[in-house]
Amino acid sequence: MFSGRFDHSLDEKGRVSIPARFREVLQHDGHDRMFVTNFPFNGNRCLALYPPNQWDILNASLKSKPRFEPRVQVFQTFVIGGAHEVPVDRQGRILIPPKLREYASLDRDVTFSAMQDHFQLWDKPTLAKSFESDRRTN
């Protein structure tokens, strides 16, 4: 299980180091790659990052859904179709593909946020604005 929120920086090539606590979970489970995809969240855009075992569970759960249901089709087209499999290098970094960086408006400062079985990658100012907006409405 993943937990916590960590600020990191994208380098000029679009690589980012996975937080050490998240890497420990990945290494314990024998994962050397991630599935990265676009993800809309509360009116904002971020990326969802799944280890292979959780990606497989997500895909298996889709098989039990009605294939021609419009919401299932949209999810498959957007999330599954938008995914990229990326290796974790020896320094614990992943390369975020340009289209996904553009989708989530990722600049230099980013934040990893745990979601139990996977984690999200946010543009740091976007996440801060999202929290501020949520605080005002609650």
Nearest to 124 by CA among 44, 51, 50: 44
Burial track 46-79 (b if 16+ CB lie within 10 A, e otherwise): bbbbbbbebbeebeeeeeeeeeeeeeeeeeeeeb
pLDDT tens readout for residues 66-94: 989 999 999 999 999 999 999 999 999 99
- In the structure encoding, which two tokens stand for residue 107, read together? 């600049």
What local confidence, expressed as pLDDT, does residue 134 receive?
62
What local confidence, expressed as pLDDT, does residue 42 receive?
85
Over residues 98-122, mean pLDDT: 97
pLDDT tens readout for residues 43-72: 899 999 999 999 999 999 999 999 899 999
* Helix intervals (H) in the chain: 20-28, 52-63, 70-75, 98-103, 124-137
